[in-house]
Structure 1
Amino acid sequence: MTALPFPPVSAADLVRLPKVERRQGTIGRTVFHLAEVDSTNRLMGGLARDGALPGTVVVADHQVAGRGKGERPWFSRPGEGLCLSILLSPKRPIEEVPQLTLVIAVAVAEAITRATGVQPRVKWPNDLLVDGRKLCGILCELLSSADGDVHHVIAGIGLNTGLSVDDFPGSLQAIGTSLAIESGRAIDRFAVLPVLLDHLEAWVELWEREGFAPVRDAWVRLSCTLGKDITLESEGTRCHGVAVDLGIDGSLSIRDESGEVHHFHYGETRLSSAIAG
């Protein structure tokens, strides 16, 4: 996770999103909707600075400066995806907060299957893939106080819903996908949203209450990383080998060609045996 600055925010363009109805729970109790924004994570940082409550959600029809891991741009087209950010205040020790990315990956994967029948798999640490093609990315960022304490996490989710193959730029056509492509039908993104929020609520609460063990079990079941030949890059280090385990702390273990096992808490993985985003 990276620290996020507090940008200025104008609330003039924010409107409540009436299509999301939450009967109970905290996540999504307040949902704001914008036609266009540079980045929902950046906007949420400003809302948090101005006193937004945990569980607040920002949804945009289009992001013009959406970001993925490593500051790479996130491609989107107006109205063809779910671009959202959720403000969270996790009730776990600070050293466990990085696990939240894996918690959210499990929640989103299960929500997608429930809402659409599409069955994505999780790639450590923050992507959802279908047959090796990227369907969804997750970017969690820390909001820290002046003395360095973490008081909020912003969870950004970019889910491709209505994109066709031809909608993707040429460089992404072989590595990107959408719910419409995978299901073969039009997908109402605002029908997916409340299901996604329900699953996020349930999994975050379970993690806060019981720790990472139940999340690990679900992640392993959904994984497209374990048992695969992968390359991992982390802070200038590159490791190639077979992903052999997900630790109880969320770390990924890789056995290299010499048989030595390495453990990583951060990094980016690339699957050698499949197309990876």
Structure 2
Amino acid sequence: MAFNEQNLIDRRIGKWIGNCIHFLKEVDSTNDVAFQLALGGAREGNVVIAESQTRGKGRLKRQWQSPPGCNLYTSIILRPEIAPVFAPQITLTTGVAVADLLSCYCPGNVTLKWPNDVQIRGKKVCGILTEMSASAASKVNFIIVGIGINVNIERADFDESFRHIATSLKEEAGSEISRLDLIVKLFDNLEHLYTTLRMEGFGSIKDMWLSYSDMIGKQIRVVFNDVVQAGEVHGIDDYGALIISDKNEVIRRVIAGDATIVKD
């Protein structure tokens, strides 16, 4: 079945993620479009989908390679009733939703890299970018969850600078993947886990995230704004921060940055 707006609308009847779909051929960034829609009052569950992005956004102002017709680029508007300090829970919840999805195609080979990467056999297949609007320290207005999944892009089509660290679902599963089926399952997974987060709290999702992580017990380096922290990973806390112990066995919370496992 073709990957188009009407077929997706038909598959989202009765669901709240995808209750309104903005399906665009090309945008600068789906997150930018969704952010403006949210500022204008768009309801929770509105989604923006694009066939391509000219300036796809990754974390720390990086660009996400976004060619047309082969991958998934989507942003979802959420309006959780939480304080901004809990916003990282949304990123980690989304990571679990994607990991559960991709595990259907590559069982046993999907891992989560804190804070926002999904990997297959150690190579990045998905990036998650959450952007928030908050009116005060105690109130989130909305969160935009941007998800980019490398679905059917060929290895040769990756930019040469990161070809060695990136992959696609097609490359790993060995066959072409239906993007329509994939995004429907993605929205179902996220709808279920986000509801779990709201109704039951972060505990069970935290456990699921840890079960996918390959960082626990490893030595890592985290770089943020030219500041480097290093230590052994012990897990994540209830706010979504990474917990490490440094060489002096001092426990530290890491709330942002690029984490890299240190090879022996």
Letter of the structure 1 residue corresponding to residue 5 of structure 2: L
Partner SS, residue 52 of structure 2: coil
2:52 matched residue in structure 1: 62
Indicate conservation of the 8 Å contact 1:134/1:177, yes or no.
yes
2:187 matched residue in structure 1: 197
User: In terms of mean alpha carbon deviation, does 167-176 or 221-230 score higher?
Assistant: 221-230
Letter of the structure 2 residue corresponding to residue 192 of structure 1: L
Indicate conservation of the 8 Å contact 1:137/1:158, yes or no.
yes
Aligned residue among 71, 77, 81 for 1:87: 77
Indicate conservation of the 8 Å contact 2:73/2:148, yes or no.
yes
Which of structure 1's runs of 4+ aligned residues deviate more than 3 A?
144-149
Identity %: 34
Letter of the structure 1 residue corresponding to residue 150 of structure 2: N
Aligned residue among 134, 159, 182 for 2:172: 182
For structure 2, the residue ranges without an aligned partner over 5 or more in a row are none
In the alignment, structure 1 residue 126 sits paired with structure 2 residue 99: no
Looking at structure 1, the residues matched to 243 and 139 of structure 2 have their Cα atoms a distance apart, in angstroms, of 29
Partner SS, residue 67 of structure 1: coil
Looking at structure 2, the residues matched to 146 and 213 of structure 1 have their Cα atoms a distance apart, in angstroms, of 26
Partner SS, residue 6 of structure 2: coil
User: In terms of mean alpha carbon deviation, does 86-95 or 152-161 score higher?
Assistant: 86-95
Letter of the structure 2 residue corresponding to residue 221 of structure 1: S
Alignment of 1:1-277 (within 5 A): 17-20=5-8, 21-114=11-104, 116-117=105-106, 119-145=109-135, 149-273=139-263
Looking at structure 1, the residues matched to 241 and 138 of structure 2 have their Cα atoms a distance apart, in angstroms, of 24
Indicate conservation of the 8 Å contact 2:81/2:139, yes or no.
no
Looking at structure 2, the residues matched to 255 and 95 of structure 1 have their Cα atoms a distance apart, in angstroms, of 22
C-alpha spacing 1:145/1:249, structure 2 compared with 1 (3 Å): closer
Looking at structure 1, the residues matched to 40 and 161 of structure 2 have their Cα atoms a distance apart, in angstroms, of 39
Letter of the structure 1 residue corresponding to residue 147 of structure 2: I
1:74 Cα deviation from its structure 2 partner? 0.5
1:23 Cα deviation from its structure 2 partner? 4.0
| Corresponding residue pairs, total | 258
Partner SS, residue 103 of structure 2: helix
1:149 Cα deviation from its structure 2 partner? 4.7
Normalising by structure 1, we get a TM-score of 0.87
Normalising by structure 2, we get a TM-score of 0.91
Looking at structure 1, the residues matched to 65 and 218 of structure 2 have their Cα atoms a distance apart, in angstroms, of 27
Partner SS, residue 191 of structure 1: helix
